[in-house]
A and B are shown apart, each in its own frame.
Chain A
Amino acid sequence: EAQVTQNPRYLITVTGKKLTVTCSQNMNHEYMSWYRQDPGLGLRQIYYSMNVEVTDKGDVPEGYKVSRKEKRNFPLILESPSPNQTSLYFCASRRIQVNEQFFGPGTRLTVL
């Protein structure tokens, strides 16, 4: 089944404790992206990647890192999480020349 998977789906952590949210897609998509969704603000792009070893900042990159060592994986790293990073996070992927994005199921993160 073609899909985007994220892990963990739910995470409660404390300020400053490094964490990684994994994202994997099995559709051989070149483009991958991370978003956060907050009430009243909609989905905002954190980082995106056009292909392996190519990443770029989105609208709200502060406090996040990403890497794209393999085509299928695009982990999101929070080196020192803070409470303002409490949010619902979505990973997405698509073919480069196609606008439709496929989203993962989301990761609900709470930073205390």
Chain B
Amino acid sequence: RKEVEQDPGPFNVPEGATVAFNCTYSNSASQSFFWYRQDCRKEPKLLMSVYSSGNEDGRFTAQLNRASQYISLLIRDSKLSDSATYLCVVNEDPTGGGNKLTFGTGTQLKVEL
């Protein structure tokens, strides 16, 4: 079983749609959680951290469910520029120091006209 699992997609959605991705993790001691965005053949970049209470940044909402060990990313009003691969990242370092970041394989999103 993978430590961090994501549906690889692709998710093909029309512009303006709302799309949601889930990510499950196996280590219940995981400390912190993130979503990174990776454009084709480019480096990953932090999209947002995921807080226990849930957090929102413009059209993006991230949520954490520790009991069920999953995190989610919701994108509202999708834009063509949102087309990318979204990586779920889990910090499994028990000290919280970030030395054990485990990356999911990513979910590919394609937003179409």
Contacts and interface: CB of A to CB of B under 8 A. Distances in A.
A99 B34 contact: yes
Given A101-B46, A104-B43, A105-B43, A42 B101 contact: no
Given A41-B105, A99-B34, A90 B98 contact: no
A50 B97 CA distance: 10
Interface residues of B, number: 20
Pick the most buried of A50, A98, A103: most chain B CB atoms within 10 A of its CB: A103
Interface string B19-42: 000000000000010100000011
A103 B43 contact: yes
A96 interface: yes
A42 B91 contact: no
B105 A42 contact: yes
Interface residues of A, number: 22
Contacts of B43: 90, 103-106
A99 B91 contact: yes
A90 B44 contact: yes
A101 B43 CA distance: 11
Interface in A32-81: 35, 40-45, 48, 50, 56
Contacts of A94: 98
Interface of B: 4, 32, 34, 41-46, 49, 87, 91, 97-99, 101, 103-106
30 contacts: A31-B98, A31-B99, A35-B103, A40-B105, A41-B105, A42-B4, A42-B87, A42-B104, A42-B105, A43-B103, A45-B101, A56-B99, A90-B43, A90-B44, A94-B98, A96-B97, A98-B98, A99-B32, A99-B91, A99-B101, A100-B34, A100-B46, A100-B49, A101-B46, A101-B101, A103-B45, A104-B43, A105-B42, A106-B41, A106-B42
